[in-house]
Structure 1
Amino acid sequence: MPKRFPPVHALAAFEAAARSGSFAVAANQLCITPSALSHRIRLLEEFVGDRLFIRDGRAPTLTAFGRSYLDVVCVALRTLTDFPLPNKSSPAQPRIKLTVPPTFARCLLMPRLASFTAAHPDIVVDVFLSVPLYDLALSESDLEVRFGAGKYPDLETVKLLEEPAFPVASPAYLERIGGIASPADLSKATLLRSALEPWKPWFDEAGLDWQEPTTGLRVDDLGLLLEAVRHGHGICLTRQHFAQPLIASGEVVELFDIRLATPPHAYYVVYEPSARARPEVQLFIDWLLAAYATA
């Protein structure tokens, strides 16, 4: 059986936290968020099978095991650091780790991101994907774009983009069910469900005293939700930026003239308060807010 090795990024987090006596200071030194540093230390504690720090609300202190393990870690890291490497003097590029929902990444971020990279070619942007409403920890990202209600305790939250929600269907599906002339006719249709786009607020806007559907296909990805509509699975709620290409091509059509102006979910930029201290992160936050100010 191959040996398991402790993750080097977790060892570095442990050494920095032990040396500085502060998770916040160590996180700043490693250019990560405090929550990311805590995550790495927990990962290492799971690996070694024992606690490394005593966390009692004050500054973290090493356990007896942590003190003995620190000596071993420092020797190992010093060996890696002192090993001669080619191009070791090359300065590291500023880097931003950004986590975004997949449909936002595909439809809203990628068409605009070139303007940031062209203006700041020295900053590396790493894009990761998350599932809306499920991945609620910043993990190791510097910034996240979240699709949700905007209530994230202990995090800085800025609304980035909000669009009205409206129902769409494919022409073939409408023909199959005999057409839809009024909101009440939705009773004969299959309403596709998603935690991201609940129907009840739109029902209220349309004057329908209906409850949230409990049957029918459920899809918790906004892009896949539209694909389900395109393939004739039923009717869904969507937003302009996502549906416009399919509406323009005639693959889906908007139903009625009723749009929910303030749906329960919108896109938010979310980050640790300390993240703004890094110039590249502040630049990217400013770019995001400017890029979507008139979207």
Structure 2
Amino acid sequence: MPRRFPPVHALSAFEAAARAGSFAVAAQQLCITPSALSHRIRLLEEFVGDRLFIRDGRNLTLSAFGRSYLDVVVQALRTLTDFPLPHRTLSAQPRVKITVPPTFARYLLMPRLAEFTEAHPDIVVEVFLSVPLYDLCLNESDLEVRFGAGKYPDMVTTRLFGEPAFAVASPAYLERIGGIATPADLNKATLLRSALEQWKPWFEQAGLDWPEPMDALRVDDLGLLLEAIKHGHGVGLTRHHFAQEMIAKGEVVQLFDIRLEAPPHAYYVVYEQTSRTRPEVQLFIDWMMAAYPDSLRDA
């Protein structure tokens, strides 16, 4: 039977919590949410079969087992940290870690990223994906692109660009429900939902005093939302840079000439102030702001 090893991310969470004497402080140091840190501690407690901490209200102390186990964990982590790495140099190749929403990565970042890598071939770019509105911690990334309202406390937040939102549907779906001629005809359609692209502001723009839909399919990824629209699940809201290819192919069609010019959500570049002290990160931020000029941001 293969040996079962303790989860390393849980060991580092345990060491940080024990050193800080606080789950909240340890979570901030590791740049994860307190609930994520608590989950890691629970994983480790399940692994060792004993309690590591005694929680008394807001007070957090190590259990007797936790104190003895901490010595072992600290020594193990120190051994890993101090292990000689002869091929690792201090002048490591500069790299930028960026976390972006999947749809932004697919439709907007990848088509342009070669501009940066060709201009700066010495800088390694590492792209990670996050779910908008859910993953609200930078974790180990140097910067993020977030799709949201732009309210991120304690972070440097710069609006990258926003686009008008408009309604689209597949031709097959429109034929199936007998067509849609006016915004009021949407009352016979299935309105696909997304926390990223809410209907209520668009309704107001269209002169409809309707509440936010509360049923039908919900998809909190803009790319998957477009796929659902293309496959005839209903009518949804989208934006030009995501839908232009499907519109050109006739897979979806825009309904009406109504466009919500200032939707609640836009794309923002988000990072900690200290990230800009690294030249490669500053270069990437500057490149992003130039790659998506004012004409695009206000499109």
TM-score, with length taken from structure 1: 0.79
Q: Which residue of 1 aligns with 2:146?
A: 146
Shift of 1:70: 8.6
Structure 1: unaligned runs, 5 residues or longer: 22-32, 57-64
User: 1:166 touches 1:254 (CA, 8 Å); kept in 2?
Assistant: yes
- The CA RMSD measured in Å over matched residues stands at 3.5
For residues 37 and 180 of structure 1, the distance between their equivalents in structure 2, rounded to whole angstroms, comes to: 46
What is the Cα deviation at residue 7 of structure 1? 2.9
The amino acid across from 2:280 in the alignment is E
Shift of 1:119: 1.2
Q: How many Å separate the matches in 2 of 1:45 and 1:132? A: 26
Match of 1:212 in 2: 212
Per-residue CA shift, 1:199-243, capped at 9, x if unaligned? 010010011111111121111111111111111111100000000
Which residue identity is paired with 1:36? Answer: C
Q: How far does residue 11 in structure 1 lie from its aligned partner after superposition?
A: 5.5
Structure 2, unmatched stretches of 5+, are 21-27, 46-50, 59-64
Answer yes or no: is 1:7 the counterpart of 2:2.
no
Structure 1 residues 95, 36: closer, same or farther in 2, change over 3 A?
A: farther
Q: Secondary structure at the match of 1:138?
A: coil
Tell me what 2:163 maps to.
Answer: 163
Matching residue of 1:236: 236
Q: Which residue of 1 aligns with 2:245?
A: 245
Instruction: Please name the residue that 1:100 is paired with.
Output: 100
* The 10-residue stretch of structure 1 (94-103 or 163-172) with the greater mean CA deviation from structure 2: 94-103
Q: What is the percentage of aligned positions where both structures have the same residue?
A: 68
Q: 1:69 to 1:44 in 2, by over 3 A?
A: farther
The alpha carbon displacement at 1:8 in A equals 8.1
Q: How many residues align?
A: 276
Contact 1:7 1:44 in 2 (8 A): no
Cα displacement (A) at 1:88: 3.7
- Shift in CA distance, 43/198, structure 1 to aligned 2, threshold 3 Å: closer
User: Residues 173, 279 of structure 1: CA spacing in aligned structure 2 closer, same or farther, 3 A cutoff?
Assistant: same
Matched residue SS, 2:128: strand
Is residue 273 of structure 2 the alignment partner of residue 273 of structure 1? yes
Matches of 1:3 and 1:170, distance apart in 2? 51
What CA distance in whole angstroms lies between the structure 2 residues aligned with 1:292 and 1:140?
Answer: 25
Residues 231, 78 of structure 1: alpha-carbon distance in 2 compared, 3 angstrom cutoff: closer
Structure 1 pair 87–210 and aligned structure 2 pair: CA distance change class (3 A): same
- SS state at 2:31 partner: helix
Partners in 2 of 1:95 and 1:4 — Cα distance? 31
Is the contact made by 2:13 and 2:40 (CA closer than 8 Å) also made in structure 1?
Answer: no
CA distance, structure 1, for counterparts of residue 131 and residue 33 of structure 2:
22
Match in the other structure for 1:126: 126
Q: TM-score, normalised by structure 2?
A: 0.78
Q: 1:72 to 1:261 in 2, by over 3 A?
A: same
- Map of 1:178-217 to 2, 5 A cutoff? 178-217=178-217
Q: For 1:285 and 1:10, how far apart are their aligned partners in 2? A: 34
1:34 positional shift: 5.1
Matched residue of 1:282: which SS? Answer: helix
